[in-house]
Amino acid sequence: MMNATAARHCPAMLISAPASGQGKTTIAAALAYYHRQQNRKVHVFKAGPDFIDPQILSFACGQPVYQLDLWMMGEAHCREILYNAAVDADIILIEGVMGLFDGDSSSADLAQKLNVPVAVVIDAGGMAQTFAAVAYGLAYYRANLPFAGVIANKVGSPGHAKLLEEALRENMPLLAAMAKDDAIGLPSRHLGLLQADEIGDLDLRLARAAELLSSLAPCRLPQPVAFAPIATTPQPLLLAGKRIAVARDAAFSFIYQANLDCLQAMGAELTFFSPLTDPVLPKADSIYLPGGYPELHLQTLADNVAMKQALHAHHQAGKPIYAECGGFLYLLERLTDKDGHAAAMAGLLPGSAQMQKRLVNLGMHSLQLAQGEIRGHSFHHSQLETTMQLFTTSNPQRNRSRSENFYRMGSLQASYLHTYFPYNPQVAAGFFL
C-alpha cells in the first residue's frame, strides 16, 4: 500500500462551454500548444470515454492523454491519475464533454468532484455584453461550482476582445481570446473529428491557433489547484511473462492509454502490429484488437490475406484474442461500408456487419463476467448479423442505450464494448489468459 504524501499544487482548469460546437477541442489544443511553446510541461485529460479528441490533444501537448469519467473509472482512480500528472506538470488542462451541465455525469459534476475550476469557452461571434451574461449564468447556475474564468472564441478584433473583457464581472477573468480564423478549424466525420494522423497540416493549424490565442489579449495561467494523493495497491502480476500483440494503425487506434498501462503494470510485455500492412503477427501469447475505423480500409484489410491466415493460426492454437468494436468487426466474415462497398474480413467469427448512416448504439455499460464487473462504453454505426450465440450481455447505465452482446468462441472474446481495464484488472487479465 502506498502511503499518502503531501498534496501537489499545479495550475489547472476544466475547459467547458454552453454547448457542443463552441470550439472546446480547438481551444484546449491551442492552449496546450501555446503553453508547450512557453517551455511548460502540459498534461491534458479528456472528460468522458472519447478516443478521437485525445489524439489531437496528445499531438498538441506532446504527452499521452488520459480520460476522466467518474462512472467508468471511479472517482478515486480519476484523482490518482490527476495527482500523478501534477507531480511533474506545469499546467493541467481537462477538456469537458458537451455543454457544461449536460449529461448524467456532466463536466460540472467532474469539476466539483475533483475541485478543478471551470473555464468556459463562449463563441463570441455576433456578441457584445450578452457574452458576459452567458458567462454569469454558467458560473452561477449551480452553487459552489469552482470557476476559473472565461475564454472568448471567434473574436473579431482587439476592440471586440476589450469590450468582452470589460463586460465580465470582476471575479470572472478573461483567460484568453481566440481570433476568428476558419483555417484553424478541425475537420470531422461521423464519429467526430478526424484522427490526428489524418490531418496532414495539424501542426500548422495548432501553431496558428496558439498564435491567435495570444494576439488579442494575454493568455493567462489558471490558479494552482491542490491535488491530494490517493493510497493505491500495486496491480497483481497476473500477466507476468505474457507477451501481448496489440493492433495499432490507421484502422485500429481507439485504445485507452490507461489500458496499455494496466497491462504493463500486471507484468505483460506489449508489442504492436498493423493488420493493414504487416504480413505476419509478432511472436505473442495473446492478441488485442482495439476499435477504430476498419470500414475506411476495407480493401486493404481484405487484401492482407497473410495477416488473416496468421490470426486463424493463432486462434487454432488456442491462444487468446480479445477484440473490441472495430476489432470485433474485423474478425467477422464480411463488412460493408455506408456506401454499400463490401469486403471479406478475417472470418474468425460467423456473421457480417453493415455500416449505417445513423448511430446504432451509444452509452456507458457494465459487463459482469466470472472474474467480476468491468465498465466501458459503446459507440457504433454498424448493424451486426450473426448466428453466434451470445455469452452474456452488458447492462447499460442509462435506458437510452441498448445492451451489447458479449461473445466467446474458445479462446476468442469479442463485443462492441470498449472496456476500461483499470476498473477491474482481474477481468482485464482474463481477456488475455
Residue 106 to residue 109: CA distance in whole angstroms: 5
- Enter the DSSP assignment of 205: H
Q: Strand ranges (DSSP E) for 194-260?
A: 224-227, 243-247
Hey, what amino acid is at 83? Y
Provide the grid cell at 106.
456532466
Q: 414 has which bridge partners? A: 323, 407
H-run or E-run covering 344: strand 342-344
Identify the burial level of 164 via C-beta atoms within 10 angstroms of its C-beta, where 0-12 means exposed, 13-18 middle and 19 or more buried.
Answer: buried
For residue 286, the tally of other CB atoms under 10 A from its CB is 21
Residue 58 to residue 139: CA distance in whole angstroms: 28
- How far from chain centre, in Å, is Cα 69? 10
> Which residues, including other chains, have CB under 8 Å from residue 200's CB and lie 6 or more apart?
none
Tell me the pairing of strands 361-369 and 395-396. antiparallel
The answer to whether residue 325 is catalytic is yes
Hey, what amino acid is at 397? Q
> Which residues, including other chains, have CB under 8 Å from residue 84's CB and lie 6 or more apart?
none
Provide the grid cell at 426.
482481474
Angle at 259 between CA 300 and CA 242, to 5 degrees: 85
Task: Enumerate the active-site residues.
Answer: 325
